[in-house]
Amino acid sequence: MRHLLLPILAAGLWLAPSCGKAEDAGAKVQGGAIAVIDFDYLDTSGEVRDQRKEHEARLTAFAGALRSDLAKGSQFQVVTPVCRPEPCSLTGTTVPNLLAAAREAGADVVIIGGIHKMSTLVQWAKIEAIDAKTGRVLFDKLFTFRGDTDDAWRRAEAFIFEGITALPPS
């Protein structure tokens, strides 16, 4: 079952019928209200030691730092959607439901994604920014990062934050 989570997550990100096609790199991401949906995590590295608690803590810190960085300055107002039933994540509900919850919270843009630890040293972060009103994908990136330490996760968050905010407004 765990080996099916990443394909299901990827399918949800890439094939969600309400999301449409990804726009060009100049699509509008900057400004307005933004919701960061809780990321999902998958570890298929095969490491012997159970690291679930560590990964859960790092994922929580990652999401908190991303929300905090996006809220700094006047570029974004970060809003928090309420999903019923919880959790407010790709494995907890559908993309259309996440977009509806984000719209209800006042979001213009929704950030969804997940992180996959594929080996001892390599992790992937799949991130999409979606227009909450139209469902149009504004940003669709697959980031890779090395390491599974607090510092590696902080560097990954900073790099992903820069990727999201580097896109020029349309």
Structure tokens at 62: 């990652």
- Per-residue pLDDT tens digits for 70-114: 999 667 899 999 988 788 899 888 999 999 999 999 999 999 999
Contact 43, 51 (CB under 8 A): yes
| Whole-number pLDDT of residue 21 | 41
Contact 147, 121 (CB under 8 A): yes
CATH architecture of 2-165: 3-Layer(aba) Sandwich (3.40)
Task: List phi, psi (to 5°) of 39.
Answer: -80, 150
Q: What is the percentage of the chain residues whose pLDDT exceeds 90?
A: 65
* Domain boundary assignment for the chain: 2-165
Q: Which is more confidently placed, 66 or 13? A: 66
Q: Is 106 helix (H, G, I), strand (E, B) or coil?
A: coil
CA nearest neighbour of 63 among 163, 156, 130: 156
Task: List phi, psi (to 5°) of 44.
Answer: -115, 25
Does 5 have pLDDT greater than 90?
no
Residue 58 CA from chain centroid, whole number: 14
Q: How far is CA 110 from each of CA 89, 95, 146, rounded to the nearest angstrom?
A: 12, 10, 26
How many residues in total does the chain contain? 170
Structure tokens at 86: 């919880």
